[in-house]
Structure 1
Amino acid sequence: MQSFIFDYYGYNVSEIVDSHFDYKGYRFTLISTTETDANIAKLDEFVTNLRQNFADDVVYFVKNRYNQYISLNESTSILLLTYKLSPIHLDALLKMHQIYYNFNQSRLNLNEIISLWEQRIDYLENQCLVILNFDNPSHKDLYEYVMYAIGMAENALQYLTDLRIDFKDPFIATLTHRRIKKLDKWEIFNPFNLIFDHSSRDLAELYRNDIIDLNQLLDLTKQYQYQIKDYQYLLARVLFPVSVFDVLEDIYL
């Protein structure tokens, strides 16, 4: 891999750990991709916009010697991303929510989220549960785990369904994250982790992963001037056991 990095990017690297290497104060990360160079170029346009607002905090793409985003390593398409090694604070996330609020008139589509959650629940019910062998004690524990996840998800889904009925005005979206497992630059500014959604998606992630406590969560909702429908969507996000679904889908998909 060191020779690949030198041949394509010109970096003379002595050690690579978990697809990462550090060079002159920057962290570089190699990831595989199925995207085309054209799609990455389009995503990079948005990354450029991010860098105008957040400078060195942003994770950005590194082109290879041939001025391309994608490099081939043994028939695998590889991207190289980098960011400056320095701490990041919660203020950066709040700033992101503020800057990209209503960006390009983005709106939250509750119907799409409800449909996605229904599909994820159906998958656990129709794929995971049916293959369990109750003669196996570990499968019995897994059954209880799956049933817990389904029950929590159905409660969360009911909140979304009620929300769709009770409030006709669409939610204005902002730039959020698919997952936030820790507060660092890779998690917050990785372009593949970004998605337009309601700010409470991120607040729920922060709370579920013990990055903020309940008092901090409530303080943030006041700072964001949440209304009833915002709290209802936040509660649905907190209730939905996304980490459990992620683990089970990784096992059975």
Structure 2
Amino acid sequence: MLQTMLEKEYGIKVDGSIQLDSYEALRGNGWLYFPATAEHYQEEDLIELGKIAEHLRNFGDRHVPVFVPTKEGKYLTTWENKNYCVLASRQTERRNSMKLGRKLAKFHERGRRIPFLIERSKRIGQWKELWVKRLEQMEKVWNGLLFQTPEDEFERMFVESFPYYLGLTENAIQFLVDTEIDDDPTEVDNGTVCHERFSKKSWGQEFLLKNPFDWVFDHRSRDLAEWTRERYFYNIQTYEPEVKRFFEEYQSIAPLSSFSWKLLYARIMFPLHYFECVEQYYLTRSEQNKKLLEEQLMKILRQSKEYERFLGNFFYLVGAPVKKFNLSIPEWLYTVR
């Protein structure tokens, strides 16, 4: 079906297909083509992502794909009542044992040199607004449950635990606001190409592939914080050496400013893991998923003291220049270090 789409809409003859991680690629003309569903995108979104991808390639990133226009010169095409976009790459490379910290720093350095205005994928400067909105929505749900008998174990845990996470979120928001008021951004704090949620698997598991549909334009600390969060929760017993090494690698290319460190800390303090667990519970209709999320919330609450210790020790773990930049943490966290 997609082979026919490539021939009719793009004028591309395909001579086979190959599976690369979770992507099915079609081969033709010495290229690999990746047809992607683009239901939530408009032509303007894809034009902007295409310009970002072109900029990154021009600055030497061989693993960023090309956006392929249709025969009519559009990036978005409708085929069998679905919207598609096609990406293409000349080569694929096995990930092997690359130094991800260094690679990400180079990616960010290329991204912050973008010479045009980013509008549609921009997230920089919006954290406070998004966090406050999310907090208010959850507080509204919590208030509605306060004077009722909990329907199940999840609801009981949520009602009892929310005040604590409300406080943690307010701390994160205040830390962010204080940083934006008291600290001056430097050149390293310019917006750059980041990812919605950067993790160890973002650039593929076996093959190195950088997916433009993961990209947002934001402060580099977004990627650093989300990678750290994912590694911490992957295994709260063994994360330390990997996190330490990652930050050493990153800073060998791009040392962080005082502003960067503080923004990074505010984002790690924001309890995204708790918000996502609760939000998913109230969105899902699957009883099986609800049971899994109940177990997940139980685990989050059980590990809350450990998370406090992680926050209390973070700057020392990653070798941040605490004295040089006068980096401090909320006073109550000093007691759990």
TM-score, shorter chain, exceeding 0.5 = yes
Which residues of 2 match residues 74-93 of structure 1 at below 5 A?
A: 74-83=80-89, 84-88=91-95, 89=98, 90=100, 91-93=102-104
Q: 2:260 aligned to 225, 230, 235, which one? A: 230
Which residues of 2 match residues 10-89 of structure 1 at below 5 A?
A: 10-11=13-14, 20-24=23-27, 26=32, 28-83=34-89, 84-88=91-95, 89=98
The alpha-carbon deviation at position 93 of structure 1 amounts to 1.6
Q: Given the superposition, is the C-alpha separation of residues 55 and 14 from structure 1 closer, same or farther in structure 2, using an over 3 Å criterion? A: closer
Q: Given the superposition, is the C-alpha separation of residues 48 and 158 from structure 1 closer, same or farther in structure 2, using an over 3 Å criterion? A: same
**Structure 1 partner of 2:235:** none
The alpha-carbon deviation at position 86 of structure 1 amounts to 1.9
Q: Given the superposition, is the C-alpha separation of residues 163 and 105 from structure 1 closer, same or farther in structure 2, using an over 3 Å criterion? A: farther
Amino acid at match of 2:9: Y
Checking the alignment, whether the CA contact within 8 Å between 2:15 and 2:26 is kept in structure 1 is no
The alpha-carbon deviation at position 246 of structure 1 amounts to 4.3
Checking the alignment, whether the CA contact within 8 Å between 1:33 and 1:79 is kept in structure 2 is no
2-side partners of 1:205 and 1:238: how far apart? Answer: 8
As a proportion of its length, which structure holds more helix?
Answer: 1
- Fraction of identical pairs, as percent: 24
The alpha-carbon deviation at position 120 of structure 1 amounts to 1.2
SS of the residue aligned with 1:116?
A: helix
Taking only aligned residues, the RMSD between alpha carbons, in angstroms, comes to 3.9
Checking the alignment, whether the CA contact within 8 Å between 1:5 and 1:12 is kept in structure 2 is no
**Structure 1 partner of 2:112:** 101
Checking the alignment, whether the CA contact within 8 Å between 2:199 and 2:226 is kept in structure 1 is yes
The alpha-carbon deviation at position 240 of structure 1 amounts to 1.7
The CA deviation string for residues 39-76 of structure 1, in whole angstroms up to 9 with x for no partner, is 42343122211121245300332333444322213433
The CA deviation string for residues 205-253 of structure 1, in whole angstroms up to 9 with x for no partner, is 2211229733125425754333433221111111223344345445657
Task: List runs of 5+ in structure 1 lacking aligned partners.
Answer: none
**Structure 1 partner of 2:9:** 8
Q: Given the superposition, is the C-alpha separation of residues 18 and 136 from structure 1 closer, same or farther in structure 2, using an over 3 Å criterion? A: farther
Question: Normalised by the size of structure 2, how large is the TM-score?
Answer: 0.60
**Structure 1 partner of 2:192:** 174
The CA deviation string for residues 164-200 of structure 1, in whole angstroms up to 9 with x for no partner, is 3322557433322221133443697322322333222
Alignment of 1:121 onto 2:135? yes
Question: Normalised by the size of structure 1, how large is the TM-score?
Answer: 0.76
Which residues of 2 match residues 214-229 of structure 1 at below 5 A?
A: 214-220=243-249, 222-223=251-252, 224-229=254-259
Alignment of 1:195 onto 2:219? no
Q: Given the superposition, is the C-alpha separation of residues 73 and 106 from structure 1 closer, same or farther in structure 2, using an over 3 Å criterion? A: closer
SS of the residue aligned with 2:255?
A: coil
Q: Given the superposition, is the C-alpha separation of residues 55 and 100 from structure 1 closer, same or farther in structure 2, using an over 3 Å criterion? A: closer
Task: List runs of 5+ in structure 2 lacking aligned partners.
Answer: 233-238, 284-337
Checking the alignment, whether the CA contact within 8 Å between 1:61 and 1:69 is kept in structure 2 is yes
**Structure 2 partner of 1:140:** 156
Checking the alignment, whether the CA contact within 8 Å between 1:201 and 1:237 is kept in structure 2 is yes
The CA deviation string for residues 132-188 of structure 1, in whole angstroms up to 9 with x for no partner, is 961322322444575565443222112112213322557433322221133443697
Alignment of 1:164 onto 2:164? no
Q: Given the superposition, is the C-alpha separation of residues 6 and 230 from structure 1 closer, same or farther in structure 2, using an over 3 Å criterion? A: same
Largest Rg, 1 or 2: 2
Q: Given the superposition, is the C-alpha separation of residues 153 and 26 from structure 1 closer, same or farther in structure 2, using an over 3 Å criterion? A: farther
SS of the residue aligned with 2:62?
A: helix
Checking the alignment, whether the CA contact within 8 Å between 1:110 and 1:160 is kept in structure 2 is no
2-side partners of 1:58 and 1:72: how far apart? Answer: 24
Q: 1:245 aligned to 250, 254, 275, which one? A: 275
Q: Given the superposition, is the C-alpha separation of residues 144 and 53 from structure 1 closer, same or farther in structure 2, using an over 3 Å criterion? A: farther
Q: Given the superposition, is the C-alpha separation of residues 163 and 42 from structure 1 closer, same or farther in structure 2, using an over 3 Å criterion? A: closer
Q: Count residues in correspondence.
A: 253
2-side partners of 1:227 and 1:220: how far apart? Answer: 16
